[in-house]
Structure formats: C-alpha cells, structure tokens
Structure 1
Amino acid sequence: MTRRLVVVLVLAAALVAVCAAAWRITWLRGIDVLRQQAAVRADRTATALSDTLERYESLSYLVANHPAVGEALDTGSLAAIARADHYLEDANAHAHADVTYIIRADGLCVAASNWGQPDSFVGAQYRFRPYFVDAIGARVGRFFGIGTVSHVPGYYISQPVYRNGHIVGAAVLKLNLEWFPGTDANEPLFVVDKHGVIFLSSVGAWKYRAVRAVPDAVAASIEQTRQYAGAPINRLPMTPVRALDAADARIVRVGARGASPYYLLAERAVPGPGWQLMTLAPVDSVVDDARNATAAVGFGFISLCLLGFYWRTRRARLRDMVKGRARLQKAYAELNRRVEERTADLSAANAQLQTEVAERSRAERELRAAHAELLQTSKLAALGQMAAGITHELNQPLAALRTFSDNTRVLIERGELADARDNLEAIGALTDRMGKITNQLKLFVGRARPGNARSPVAAALRNALHLLQERLQRVSLQVRMCGPECMLDPQAWTKPCDANGYAPVDLATEQAELAAYCDGLRLEQALINLIANALDALESMAAPRLWIDIDAGSNTVTITVRDNGPGIPVDVLPRLFEPFFTTKETGKGLGLGLAIASSIARDCGGSLSARNEAEGGAAFVLALRRAADSTVAAGSTAAAPPDAARPR
C-alpha cells in the first residue's frame, strides 16, 4: 500500500512538472513571438513619427529664413506684416500644417497663417511658452501642449529669426498629431513626454495621465506654462509584473487589481523632442495557447501512465505464473542447499574465530612497540621544536642587524656620525634582545607561566614596528589606539596616514600608560610574529594595506592586526596555530610564528584567534588582561613608530 502511494505521488509530481514545463515553454515561445511583433510595430511607428517631425522641422527653418518673415519682425510695418500673413497662409496650406505664425522678441504674435479667422493667433502673447524661450535663446524649440487660443493640442516647432545678425523673433509651426496613434483599442499605443505624461494615445481616457510619479516641481512647471491647459495629471494604473530578457520590453497590468488585463509593453525613443513611444500587446492569446498546450500534454501524460499501468499489470501476472511453477520445482533443492550452506557457515566461523585470536595477539605486541617508539619520537620532536623556535625568533633581529649595519656604513661614509651612533645603539639593543629571546623560549618549551609581569602596549608595538621597518616601507600602515571614551567621538577612531603610510600620532606619547599583563619581550615577540605574518600575506598585493587596532576595555586589551591580503583558506583555519604547520613555500617559513604567538597569549592568561574579513583579507585578534591601575586617555587615536623607527 505504501509503495503504491509513493508511486501515485511520484506520478502526480511528474504530471505537475510536465504540465509546468509545457506551460513555461509555450508561454515563453509565445511571449517571444509577441515581443518581436511588438518591436516591429514600435519601430515602424516610431520611425514614422520621427520622419514627420524632421520634415516639419525643416519647414520651420525655411519659414524662419524667409525675407518677408524677417522684415515683418524687424520693421513691424503694416505692409510687411500683411506680406508675412499671406506668405504664412500659403506655406501652411502647401505643408498641410495646422498653423504657422511668427512671434516678436517681446512674445507678441504679429502674423499667422490663420490671420483672417476668428481664432487667429495674431495679438496673442506667448512669452511664457517654452518653445518661444528656446527660439529666443538661439535654439530649436520643440514642445507639445494645448493651444491657449484654439484650445487644440499640437506639436510646436520654433526657430529663431535672425535680422542683421540679431534675433528679432521666432517662427513657429504647429502640427496636429491627434491622427497619429489611431483608434485600435485592442493594441493601445501612446506617446509620453520627457516627464512621463501621455499626450498622444489611441485610448482617449489615458490622455494627460502619467506613467510614473511626477515631481511637484515638474507639475508646477507644467501648470505655469499651461502645457495641458490645467488638466489634472493623474497616475495611469500601470503596474510592472515581469521583466523580460529585452531591456525595452516587459509584462505590465493596466487597471485596478482583479480583472485588469495583462499586456506586453514595448518602448522606443523618438529622437529630437525626447519622447517615448509605448505599444501594448495583449497576452491573452499567449495564455490561451499555453493553457491548451498544458492540457494536451497533461492528457497525453495521463494516457501514457494508464497504458504503462496496464502493461505492467499484465506482465506481473505472467511473471507470477512462471514463478509459481518454478517455486514448486526448486523447493526440495533449496532445502538441501540451505543445510549445506549452514554447515559451511559454521566451519568458516570457527576458522575466522581462530584467525581473530591470532590477529589480536599480534596487535597487542605492535601496540607496545609503537608506544615505546612514540615516547622516543616525542622527545626528539620537543628538541626539534625548541631548536626551530630559536631559529624562527632570531631571524627578525638578525635581518634588522644586517640592515642597521649597512646603514651605519653608509652614514659613516657620509660623515653623519650622530645617525651612525644611533644605529650602533640600536645594534647593541638588538644583541641584548637576541639574548633575551633564547632565555624566554625556555618558557615556551617548558610551558612555564610568568608572574604578573606588566608591560606598556604602545612601547611593545613601537619596538615591533621598529624591528620590521624595512618591510613596512612598501605597505600602507594605519595604527589606531582607542578606549571606551572613543565610542563618543567617531572621528577619533581613524586618522589618515602620511606619505610613508604611518598614522600622524607618536606611539611614544600616546597611550603610554596603557599596559597589559604580559612580559614586554614576549609581547613584542607575539606582535612581531603577527605583523610579519600579515606582511607575508601582502607580498602579492598591488596595493598592500595593514591596520593595527588597539582597543582598551575595562578589563582587557585587544590588539587586532588586519590586512587586505588573500585571506585564510577555510580548511587551514583549524590548524593555523599548530607548530610546524605552514602554507608558505619551502624555505619561507617554519610554521612556528603563530604557534609561538598563541603560546605567549595562553601563558599570559589571554587568547589569540583568527578570522577572515567580509571585505577581504584576514584578521588576528590578540586579547590580553589589562593592568588594573592603567587608564586610557580620552580621544586617543592612531600611533606610529617614532622618527628613529622610520627607514633611513
């Protein structure tokens, strides 16, 4: 019963999947065909509209350059105005335009093609119209609006009229474009201006409605220019439903929710006036085709399932008949075979038991031998780890000694004895430091915890940066020191670095009283290892950056070393602090730096952890106990090595 239920559920799921696939394929194919048809219609319509506007724009240019027009605007004589009226009437009749008229520089219409009609434009004031402002500004004016005299919507094209090199007025051509969209309500077509307001539409109710929200400033400008004769500009209820692969087409719903139809919207830009032509194609036919295809595929799938069920039932009956006959013939032979198998199993079990006893005895002997070998290996490993630790910790001071020696020789040759004396003092300090390192590593090998030794954090960081100054020259370094008071001033968290990559605050004076429970030399060792590890990760970066954040809490001091390197692989994080584990190339590291830093943190009652940053790079967080009587000055910020620590 359970198996049949599973089969029925699987077939039902397959039916749903097949029907869904049939629906999607048919729907996508139909939408693609509809989109191509809509694109052809939109391209054809936009081209026709653009050609019409370009043709009449050329006519407005010819009118503006006619001598009669220039003379009428320049002299203003009655004879010149009469000649201009007759010329405009004749040109307008041949061009099949709505009205052609000229406007003086003060905005007054002085001549028009409809000069003899009751609704003549002569004497009307057009100074507020944008197309007049554009023409007076030596630009071609393009504007669609409702006429202030005729109250008939039209497209206005204006050209500046020059007389002796000066603009004396404007020539305007008005076109009636109400014929353009047509009256096909099944596939609506409309044109919107640059503000998103529909001014041409095959659906009359959509005129002067906006396809997107109109800002208050734009609405005020439309009202001021009387572009649409004060008609209220409401939002057309057109809601995007689904985007298509083509950027100029999408599925929209027009009307209130519920029974509102779905359309495929195609857009085309009309060059010149900045209009957008939009066509809507109903998707009902596509939905019907998808529904029919889905029904056909569903019935076909059900028929195949029924046929398969009949074939399987008939085959099962034949198979049961054959099995019944064979079962009777094999019953006696099966009984004998089982007796023989049971006897063989008992014999094999006995032999296996004897083998397991022998294997167990041998395993015990090997275990005792391995235990003895492990003890010897552990002794050798401890000795090797101690030697490797000494080598690793002495590498940095030795490199610094070489650098100071080379610099001292150059300074002596230059005669800069004061700087050379400083370098010799630094060399002496480094030799003392190397001696202290060999003594301090005994604590690492023996896991001996130091007492409540305290050391200033700023001094330890200054010495660590001083030791690594040569490697820090190619890195943009930023150091930040901050206490709880910095939370009140976000500007105190970060200061810009100087040209050498150091923060503009001296570590020798800032936060000098901030101390942690840790021996000074061991704290320097931990910081050197963390900073050197970050510098190794930044070797392949084009713009290496390093951040050192020191946050002082009430009981803890947290030192975070961050970089913008490649980060730490996820599979490496669990083993990052194991001795002798390294991801560097052979000869570039022993894998002891992070292990030593982690051991120092534990011995001082703190911790060391690592993580990958979300913006890239890795961060190592060293948390130590803060000395009870230490305080943090309010508003302290980033610090940098003193002048003596800068590269020379």
Structure 2
Amino acid sequence: MTGTRTLIAAITLALCAALLAYTLTHRSSMAALNTQLDQTLILTARAVETEVARFGALPAIAAQDARILAALAHIDDPTTIDAANQYLATTGALSGASLLFLMDDTGTTLATSNFQTDMNLMGRNFSFRPYFQAAMQGQTGRYYAIGAITGDPGYFLSTPLTADGARGVLVVKVDLRPLQDTWTSAGLATAIIDQDGVAFLSGAPEWLYRPTKALSPGALARIHDARTYDGVDLRSPDPILTAPNRAMLGAGPMQIRTKPLTDDGWTLLAGAPNAPVTTTASLSAIGAALLAFLATGLAKIAHQRRQLVALRLRQNALLEIRVTERTHDLALEVQARRQTEADLRAATDGLIHAEKMAALGRMSAAIVHEISQPLAAMEATLAAAEIALPPGQTKTQTRIDTARGLVRRMQRTTKHLKSFSRKEQGTLTLVNLTQAIENAIDLTAPRARTAGVTPKFTPPNPPLYVRAGAIRIEQVLVNLLLNALDAVQGMHAPQITLTTTAGPDLTTLTVTDTGAGISAADLPRVTEPFFSTKISGENLGLGLSISQAIVQEFGGQIALNSTPAGTTVTITLPTPAQQKGAA
C-alpha cells in the first residue's frame, strides 16, 4: 500500500515537474529565438539599406551630365544619342549598377547602357512603370520589379530631368540578388516583402514571389498593370502566412518576426522553425519527470541521492560549456558583421572620393580650355608689339621677350594638362617614352620646385618607344614622380633620377629617389587599393594600385626596391617590333 502511494506521488510529482519545465523552457527558448531573429533583422536591414543608399544619388548625378541633357534635347540626332549610350555604359560599369537608361516624356527609351546587347531597351516604352509615373510628377521614383525585357529583377531608381524645355526620366536599375544569394548560402529564412505583401527577395526559395496573405483583386490588377512580377502567377501559390506567427514550409510551423524597411513600404521578414524549441521543451519536460522520480527515490536511498547530485552537476557543467561555446560563436559573428559594415563604409568613401576626383579632372580640363585662347592672344599681341618696337628700345625688348617666355611656358603647361585630362581609348599605340617622361616632369614641375628638387633625366638617343596608351603611361609616370617628391620632401640634398634602357625583349624605366624609403613590413602592401603610408590623410592609396593595373594592361610589370637610403621603382615593358628593328 505504501509502495502504491509512493508511486502515485512520484507520478504526480513527475507530471507537475514536466509541465512546469516544458512551460518555462518553451517560454525562455521562444524568447531567445525571438531575440536571435530580431538581431538578424537589424543586421540584415542595415545591409539592405546600405546597398540601396550606395546607389541613391546615382540617378541625379548621371542626369546632370551634358551628354544626357543633349540627348534629351535632340532626340533625332544619332550623334548625341550615341554619346549618351556610351556615357551610360561607362557609368554603369564603374558604379556597379546593372542598367541605366534615359526615357522621354512618353516613356520611350532614348539611350541605354546595354545598347550593344541583344536585350537592349532602345525604343521600348515603359510608361506603365510606377517609377516613370512618379518621375513625370516631379518626384524621385523607387520601385522593385522584374525587367519586362531582360527578365531580370531589380530595384529601379528614377529622377526627372529637363533640357531645353524637353522633359525626360533617367532610371538606374540595381541588382539586389547578391543579398539574396548571401541569405541562401547562410541558410537564413529571410525575405523582403513589398507594399502589397509579396516576397520579392528571399533566402528561402519556397517564399520567393509568394504573397504573405491572399491578394485582393485590386492589388492583383495593379500589379498586373505595372507588370511588377512579369510572368509570375500570384494567385496560385499558397500564402506564406497561414496564421499569426506561422508559415507553410517543409520544416513545419515557424516563428516569424518582421521589421519595417526603407521608405518604400517594404517589410523585412525573418523566420526560424519552431521544432527545435518544441523539442528542447519536450526534452526538458522528460528530464524534469525523470528528476522527479529520482528525487522521490533519493528520499529513501542515500547513495541514489549522491548519484543524482553528481548527474546534475555533470549536466550543469555540460550546459555551461555549450553556453560558453555559443556565446563565443555569437561574438565572432557580431565581430564579422561589424567588419563587413566597416568594409562597406570604406568602399563607399572610396567611391565618393573617386567621383570627386573625376569631377575635379573634368573641371581642370574646362579651365585649361578657357585659358588657352587668351594665352594665344597674349602671345600674338606681344609678337606684334615686338615687331612694332622702335630700334634701340633694349629694355622694352627684354621685357617683351621675358613676357613671351612666360606665356609660352604657360601654354606648354596647359597643353600637358589638356592632354593628361583627356579620356583615352583602350587601344595601344606606339608611344615615345622619352616624350612621355618629359611631359610628366613638366606636369610635376610646380610640386618639384616646392620640394626643392629637379628630377634628372637624360634623354636616350635615339628615342625609345613602347606599345602603350600615351595618356595612361603619363598617368603612371606622374604617380611615380609625385610619390618620389613626397618621399624626398624635407630631406637634405634630395635627388630624383629617371633612367631608361632598351633590350632586345624588354624596355626598362626606373625612378629612383633619396627619400626615407618604405619599411619592410609595408613594402608588400603598397600596391594594394586604399593602402597608404602617408599620414596626412590627403592620399587615397590608389596611385600605385592603379599604376600597376595600367602597366599590366600594357603587358609589363612594376617592381619596388626600398632601403632606408631611398626607393627605386622599376617598370619593364615589352620592346615593340619597331624598336627592335631600329636597334
């Protein structure tokens, strides 16, 4: 009888312990799961907003280009349309945008960055797109849709523009699928939901282009008219959410968390299966029941009590180890995400600085063009004054000669700047290396005078030639000379020497300075993008990286050798057949 009461008491205690353990474990596990999902939403939202913001200003910037405005003002001029096509193609390649195109006020495409492909948009009409309609109302348009021609989904950013009374719209298409690929590879059940409740980006393939709930006839008609998801039937798939905090997937019911995203009415959704939480709670309930049975037995048997205590201690130790391991894993994940955000910010800052430098180059080219004609007029006026000067005016003659010399010097400098700022085609030609070196020395002469050094160069006889791009080889030489001038700044008796030699197969150019040199730790990294040993903050760290890419495009190599007594940069280029024949 006593044994039966003990068994009933043990069973009752076990059931109560199991129920309590299941409730508490399920509640705490679900809270932890919600916290994890909220953290995922915060990090993912920041990545999405960063990617969208990276292209936010591109439509307005590209719309101000003279070629775009000319194409809109003269839609029947093939020359202006071709120039706009070339500009859009170049801008798309440099910015990373998948597509840029210009439309008139009827929605017909005038110019496009993919004009050379079979899927080009020339002559296509997209007046049905909401981003076009918003731009025609004077607003900036933002819309995600599947391309009606290309079939590729993307985020469309539009801006209105006006040229000589003609109205038009410039559109930039951004591909957000790399974010989706990252979610998929990471196994994240994450999705972005549009304002109508349709998932257009998702790390779970089962969610893609599914509505979160049944769409109304009005929403279906609006999506169909705008061709937002061209070729996708939104009426047949089952909605993702069938009840609060549930989703239909192969993994069963899921816990769903959401977060508003951007100003477009998007919602970021993240989910995780409920099965692990239920399993953990069930296991906790079973464990609690077993512990209850053991506790009842230990009230009678002392050694069983000691065994139970030892078992619980082992279980607690194992739990602490697992908690420590998980905490360490979470810390590593947070650190990796922070590093990724820092890299994204650094890349964005680099793109902004590169765009500012490009604008400065275009402005300097315009200034050179504006002062060239006044200089020519001054030269002609001084020449006429010299001819009309009465005999015997020696002092006046000397002053006129001095003034003409200064004007010629300014003309040479502006000529070099004009050539250096001109955009060069990618084709390689036979370039006079001696002339390129002398042009680079002229361009850096003001900086050399500030540093108190005159670069030494003895032109070879006969001149050496290499197969390269004239402007790009000058760009490389200017970069190397500026680095050498920075290195010798403030040094005692500074020297910079340029030498050239030609062999049967290779032509060599060396730039040697007597600066402080580069440390052995920094030398392997000086050609990396955005790496700089200068602490002034004025240098972006791209000079040697760009120079190396240019020389490699010419079929050559750049080598650096540095000691505390100075640095030597050696450029080797293939000797052209014409040069071999001359030798």
| TM-score, length basis structure 2 | 0.48
TM-score normalized with structure 1 length: 0.43
